[in-house]
Structure 1
Amino acid sequence: MCAETTTPETDFKSTLNLPQTEFPMRAGLPKREPEWLDRWTRLDVYHRLRSSAAGREPFILHDGPPYANGHLHIGHALNKILKDMIVRSQQMMGRDARYVPGWDCHGLPIEWKIEEAYRAKGKSKDEVPVLDLRRECRSFAEGWIDIQRGEFKRLGITGNWDAPYLTMDFHAEAVIAAEFQKFLMNGTLYQGSKPVMWSPVEKTALAEAEVEYHERTSPAIWVAFPIWYFADADGSFRELVETGAITGENPVDALTDLAAEFQQASVVIWTTTPWTIPQNRAVCYGPDIAYGLYEVTEAPEGNWIETGRRVMLADDLAEATFAAAKVTGWKKVRDITPAMLRSISLGHPLCNVEEAGGEWHFDVPLLPADHVTSDAGTGFVHTAPSHGDDDYQVGLKHGLQMTYNVMEDGSFREDLPLFGGELIVKPNGKEGGANEAVIKRLAAEGRMVARAKLTHSYPHSWRSKAPLIFRNTAQWFAAIDRPVGDGLDEFGRTIRERALTSIDELVTWTPKTGRNRLHSMISSRPDWVLSRQRAWGVPLTCFVKVGAKPDDPDFLLRDAGVNARVVEAFEAEGADAWYEEGAKARFIADAANPDEYEQVFDILDVWFDSGSTHSFVLRDRDDGSPDGIADVYLEGTDQHRGWFHSSLLQACGTKGRAPYRAVVTHGFTLDEKGMKMSKSLGNTILPEQVVNQYGADILRLWVSQSDYTADQRIGPEILKGTADAYRRLRNTLRFVLGSLPEDVPTLPEDISELPDLERFVLHRLQETDRDVRAAYAAYDFQRAWRSVFELCTLDLSSFYFDVRKDALYCDAPSSERRRACEAVLGAIYDRVVTWLAPILTFTMEEAWLERHPGEDSSVHLVDMPDTPEAWQDETLAAHIRKLRAARRTVTGALEIARRDKEIGASLEAAPIVHLSEEYASEVTDPELFADYCITSDVRLTTDPAPQDAFRSEDVPGVGVEVVRADGAKCGRCWKVLPDVGGHAHAGVCGRCDAALTELGV
Structure 2
Amino acid sequence: MCAETPEYKSTLNLPKTDFPMRAGLPKREPQWLERWADMGIYDRLREKEGREPFTLHDGPPYANGHLHIGHALNKTIKDMIVRSHQMMGFDARYVPGWDCHGLPIEWKIEEQYRNKGKDKDDVPVIDFRQECRKFAEGWVDIQRDEFKRLGITGNWENPYLTMDFHAERVIAEEFMKFLMNGTLYQGSKPVMWSPVEKTALAEAEIEYHDHKSHTIWVKFPVVRAVEPTGARSGLLGVNVVIWTTTPWTIPSNRAIAFNPELSYGLYKVTKAPDDNWAKKGDHYLLADNLAEDVMKSAKVEEFIRKRDVTAQQLDLIICGHPLRGVEDGQGEWDYDVPMLPGDHVTDDAGTGFVHTAPSHGADDFILGVKHGLQMTHNVIEDGSFRASLPLFGGEVIITAKGKEGSANTAVINKLAEVGGLIARGRVTHSYPHSWRSKAPVIFRNTPQWFAAVDKDVEDGQDQYGTTIRERALTSIDKLVNWTPQTGRNRLYSMIETRPDWVLSRQRAWGVPLTCFTKKDALPTDEDFLLRDEAVNARIAEAFEAEGADCWYADGAKERFLGSDYNADDYQQVFDVLDVWFDSGSTHAFVLRDREDGTADGIADVYMEGTDQHRGWFHSSMLQACGTLGRAPYRNVVTHGFTLDEKGNKMSKSLGNTIVPEKVVQQYGADILRLWVAQTDYTADQRIGPEILKGVADSYRRLRNTMRFMLGALDSFSEADRVAHADMPPLERWVLHRLAELDEKVREGYKSYDFMGVFNAIFNFATVELSAFYFDIRKDALYCDGDTDRRRATRTVLDILFHRLTTWLAPILVFTMEEVWLERFPGEKSSVHLVDIPETPAEWLNANLAKNVSELRRVRRVVTAALEVERQNKVIGSSLEAAPVVHVLDADVMAILRVLPVDDLFITSGVSLSSDPLPDEAFRLPEVDGVGVVFEKAEGEKCQRCWKILPDVGQHKHVGVCGRCDEALG
Q: Which moved more, 1:470-479 or 1:744-753?
A: 744-753
Distance 1:656 1:716 in 2: 48
Q: Please, which of 229, 233, 236 is the counterpart of residue 237 of structure 1?
A: 229
User: Cα–Cα, structure 1 residues 276 and 8, in superposed 2: closer, same or farther, change >3 Å?
Assistant: farther
Of 785, 794, 798, the match for 1:826: 798
Deviation at 1:547, TM superposition (A): 2.1
Q: Look up the match of 1:241.
A: none
Question: Quick one: which amino acid aligns to residue 908 of structure 1?
Answer: E
Give identity over the alignment, percent. 67
Match of 2:927 among 950, 955, 968: 955
2:846 is aligned, of 851, 874, 884, to 874
Gaps of 5+ in 1: 1-5, 239-254
What is the identity, as a one-letter code, of the residue corresponding to 1:137? C
Q: Deviations over 1:556-607 (max 9, x none)?
A: 0111111000000000000000000000000001221110000000000000
CA contact (8 A) 1:237 1:339 kept: no
Q: Using the alignment, how far apart are the partners of 1:373 and 1:922 within structure 2?
A: 76
Aligned counterpart in structure 2 of residue 79 of structure 1, from 65, 74, 78: 74
**Corresponding position: 1:486 with 2:459:** yes
Corresponding residue number in structure 2 for 1:799: 772
Which residue in 2 is equivalent to 1:450? 423
Letter in 2 for 1:187: G
Give 3-state SS (helix, strand or coil) of 1:987's partner: coil
Write the distance in 1 (CA, Å) between the matches of 2:605 and 2:572: 38
The match for 2:552 is 579
Q: Cα deviation per residue 1:598-641 (whole Å; 9 max; x = unaligned)?
A: 00000000000000000000000000011110000000000000
Tell me what 1:541 maps to.
514
Amino acid in the other structure paired with 1:34:
P
Amino acid in structure 1 at the alignment position of 2:155: N
Match of 1:941 in 2: 913
CA contact (8 A) 2:396 2:405 kept: yes
Q: CA deviation at 1:920?
A: 3.8
> What is the correspondence of 1:32-111 to structure 2 with a 5 Å cutoff?
32-52=28-48, 54-111=49-106
AA matched with 2:570:
Y
Equivalents in 2 of 1:283, 1:953: separation in Å?
A: 76
Quick one: distance in 2 between partners of 1:741 and 1:749?
A: 16
Superposition deviation, residue 954 in structure 1:
1.8
CA contact (8 A) 1:772 1:835 kept: yes
Q: Which amino acid aligns with 2:956?
A: A
Check conservation: 1:918, 1:957, Cα contact below 8 A.
no
Match of 2:392 in 1: 419
1:30 aligned to which of 26, 33, 58: 26
**Residue pair 1:648, 1:658 contacting (<8 A) in 2 also:** yes
Say if 2:722 and 2:791, in contact at 8 Å, map to a contact too: no
Deviation at 1:743, TM superposition (A): 3.0
2:129 partner letter: R
Deviation at 1:123, TM superposition (A): 2.2
Contact 1:495 1:652 in 2 (8 A): yes
Name the structure 1 match of 2:410. Answer: 437
More displaced, 113-122 or 478-487? Answer: 113-122
Change (3 A) 1:359 1:939: same
1:695 aligns to what? 668
- The 8 Å contact of residues 851 and 892 in structure 2, kept in 1 or not, is answered as no
- Quote the offset at 1:919 in angstroms: 5.7
**1:122 offset after TM fit, Å?**
2.3
TM-score (norm 2): 0.99
The 5-angstrom pairing of residues 52-201 of structure 1 reads 52=48, 54-201=49-196
- Which residue is equivalent to 1:265? 238
- Describe the superposition over 1:73-121 as per-residue Cα deviations: whole angstroms up to 9, x where unpaired: 0000000000000000000100001100000000011111111111222
Which of 204, 207, 214 pairs up with 1:209?
204
Contact 1:281 1:364 in 2 (8 A): yes
Contact 2:942/2:959, CA 8 A, preserved across alignment: yes
Cα distance in 1 for partners of 2:502, 2:361 equals 15
Aligned residue in 2 for 1:247: none
Query: Is the 2:56–2:94 contact (alpha carbons within 8 Å) kept by the matching residues of 1?
Result: yes
CA 1:957–1:594: 2 relative to 1, 3 Å? same
Query: Hey, what's the Cα distance between the residues in 2 that align with 1:862 and 1:237?
Result: 87
Task: Give 3-state SS (helix, strand or coil) of 1:522's partner.
Answer: helix
**Superposed displacement of residue 748, structure 1:** 6.8
Per the alignment, residue 986 of structure 1 pairs with 958
Give 3-state SS (helix, strand or coil) of 2:95's partner.
coil
Q: Which residue of 2 aligns with 1:971?
A: 943
Q: Which moved more, 1:927-936 or 1:491-500?
A: 927-936
Residue pair 2:721, 2:791 contacting (<8 A) in 1 also: no
2:810 aligned residue (838, 845, 850): 838
For 1:931 and 1:594, the matched residues in 2 are separated by: 93
1: distance between equivalents of 2:174 and 2:3?
82
**What is the Cα deviation at residue 745 of structure 1?**
4.2
Partner of 2:833: 861
1:299 positional shift: 0.8
> In 2, are the aligned partners of 1:912 and 1:939 still within 8 Å (CA)?
yes
Are the equivalent residues in 1 in contact too, given 2:287–2:352 (CA < 8 A)? yes
Partners of 1:591 and 1:774 lie apart in 2 by 60
CA offset digits 1:483-520 (Å, max 9, x no partner): 00100111111111111111011100000111111111
Aligned partner letter, 2:108 = K
The CA deviation at 1:930 is 1.2
- Check whether the contact 2:403–2:439 (CA below 8 A) recurs between aligned residues: yes
Q: 1:655 to 1:8 in 2, by over 3 A?
A: farther
Structure 1 residue 126: Cα displacement: 1.6
- Does the 8 Å contact 2:854/2:892 carry over to 1? no
CA pair 976-749 structure 1, distance change in 2 beyond 3 A: closer
What are the superposed Cα offsets for residues 35-72 of structure 1, whole Å, 9 maximum, x if unpaired?
Answer: 000000000000011112x3311000000000000000
Can you list the C-alpha shifts for 1:152-211, whole angstroms capped at 9, x where unaligned?
000000000000000000000000000000000010000001010000000000111111
Q: In the aligned structure 2, how far is the partner of 1:728 from the partner of 1:919? A: 36
> What is aligned with 2:441?
468
Deviations 1:721-776 (A, max 9, x none): 10000000000000000000323346878522110000000001111111100000
- Alpha-carbon distance, 1:264 to partner: 2.3
The alpha-carbon deviation at position 924 of structure 1 amounts to 2.7
1:927 CA drift (Å):
6.5
Could you tell me how far apart the structure 2 residues matched to 1:767 and 1:746 are? Answer: 27
Deviation at 1:705, TM superposition (A): 0.6
Find out whether 1:350 has 2:298 as its counterpart.
Answer: no
CA drift at 1:124: 2.4
Amino acid at match of 2:44: R
2:658 paired with 1:685 = yes
Superposition deviation, residue 949 in structure 1? 1.6
Whether the 8 Å CA contact 1:227–1:263 is kept in 2: the answer is yes
Alignment-derived partner of residue 403 in structure 1: 376
Alignment of 1:621-632 (within 5 A): 621-632=594-605
Look up the SS of the partner of 2:900 in the other structure. Answer: helix
Say whether the 8 Å CA contact 1:562–1:591 is kept in structure 2. Answer: no
Q: Secondary structure at the match of 1:354?
A: coil
- C-alpha distance in 2 between matches for 1:280 and 1:434: 15
SS at match of 1:99: strand
Distance 2:336 2:211 in 1: 33
Distance (whole Å) between structure 1 residues aligned to residue 904 and residue 771 of structure 2? 11
| 1:736 correspondence with 2:709 | yes
Q: Which residue of 2 aligns with 1:713?
A: 686
Structure 2 counterpart of 1:202, one-letter code: E
- Contact map agreement 1:170 1:571 (CA 8 A) in 2: yes
| TM-score of the pair, normalised by structure 1 | 0.96
Please tell me the residue identity of whatever aligns with 1:83.
K
Alignment-derived partner of residue 245 in structure 1: none
Give the distance between the partners of 1:749 and 1:801, measured in 2 at CA: 18
Q: Which aligned pairs between 1:218-617 and structure 2 lie closer than 5 A?
A: 218-231=213-226, 236-237=228-229, 255-256=231-232, 258-259=233-234, 262-617=235-590
What's the offset of the Cα at 1:288?
1.2
What is the alpha-carbon distance in structure 1 between the residues aligned to residue 537 and residue 692 of structure 2? Answer: 55
Q: Distance in 2 between matches of 1:543 and 1:292?
A: 54
Unaligned runs of 5+ in 2: none
Q: Secondary structure at the match of 1:193?
A: strand
